[in-house]
Every structure is written in C-alpha cells, then in structure tokens.
Amino acid sequence: MPVKWDAIQYLPDELVWMIPSSTYQGYEIIVAGDSRQPDQHLLEFAKRIMECRDHWVSQSRDFLWSFIDRSKFPPADENWYADAFRFESPGLFTIEFSHVADPYGLWTVMLRLCRQDEEGLGSYAVHEFRRCNS
C-alpha cells in the first residue's frame, strides 16, 4: 500500500516529523526537520526508500537472524516486526524492530549508503544494529 505522506505531522517534544502507524500502515515513518517543515532532502530520501521498504525490511531481518539464535526466539514461525523507519541523516536510515518473544526489547538496524546508482537510490549495507530496552 502507498504511504500517506499527507498525514505527516510535527512532534514538538521530539523535534521530528512523523507519519503515525495505523490500521492502514503498520509502522511509523520519522523524518528530521525543524518546526516549519520536514527536511526536504530527507523527505525525498524517505520516499525513495519507502518505495522498496519490503526489500530493506527483508535485508534487515536476514541480518538480525544471522546473529540471533532462533531457538531463543520462539515460536519458530514468528518473524521480526518493523515498527518504524527513521530518516535523520543523509545516506543513512534506521529500521526499528520488535519480536513477540522479546516484548521489552527494541531492535534497531541502521543501513548506510555504500554505493550510489543511476536512479539515485543506491545500495545500502547494515552499518550497525543494537537492542535497547523499551
């Protein structure tokens, strides 16, 4: 489903712009900016990345599973759930994940531009990942 970009709103306590999750869209999209508007370069970057969001989620899930023992995260058929996409720096974005077996953990995978292509999207590789207690 397409992203409802016109639903973006400013969060003054966090100093970011966000499209909240909903029944229509199961994840948040966070874009840096100032109180007047989202950063236009980051907004365009977010729009390009979100066109391929399934690819980036899949790549990030594969990365997480390469480090996490599935036997410690039952049930076996449960996967990582993408809760949010963050765009706060050029050429870098973060996907926040949760997992039913870890209800108090927030897992983040940061992807960084490693090669630009002709279309302007480029190739991204995992730069870092971490778990934070939520």
Which sequence spans correspond to the domains of the chain? 3-132
Look at 23-27, 48-52, 121-125 and tell me which has the smallest mean pLDDT: 121-125
Q: What mean pLDDT do residues 12-33 have?
A: 94
Whole-number mean pLDDT of the chain? 90
What pLDDT shows up at residue 84?
97
Q: Give per-residue pLDDT as tens, 35-91.
A: 999 999 999 999 999 999 999 999 999 999 998 888 888 887 789 999 999 999 999
* pTM of this structure: 0.89
Pairing of strands 16-19, 28-32: antiparallel
Proportion of the chain above pLDDT 70, given as a percent: 95
Q: How far apart are CA 64 and CA 95, in angstroms?
A: 12
Burial of 22 (0-12, 13-18, 19+ CB in 10 A): exposed
Residue 101 has pLDDT above 80, yes or no: yes
Q: Sorting pLDDT into bands at 50, 70 and 90, what band is 110?
A: very high
